[in-house]
Amino acid sequence: MKTYPNHSEGYPTFIVWEGEAYCPDCANKFAEEENEKEDITEEERIFSRPSDAGISQAINWEVQDLHCSGGFAGCPEWIEPAYSDND
């Protein structure tokens, strides 16, 4: 299963799919749920086959108000920027 890291080279990351941002924790939970479903087709898989579904991972360099669209319980919602306005 694809695991999305929370940081890349020490910088906070997020996942992009269809114009929405997801924190790595939510993307990993979506992938885990997809892998647990036996009746799901490969075409319906999104987070468990990222390169085929058009998913990319990026570093949040400076966006101060980037929020996760996943909404799982315990989701931090706000995606930390690498640099804050104070840096």
pLDDT along the chain (87 residues), means of 10: 81 89 89 86 76 80 91 79 76
> What gap in Å lies between CA 7 and CA 10, rounded to an integer?
5
Which neighbouring-strand residues pair with 17?
20
pLDDT for 43 equals: 78
Strands annotated E in the chain: 7-8, 11-17, 20-22, 56-59
Instruction: Using DSSP, state whether 14 is helix, strand or coil.
Output: strand
d(CA 17, CA 33): 17
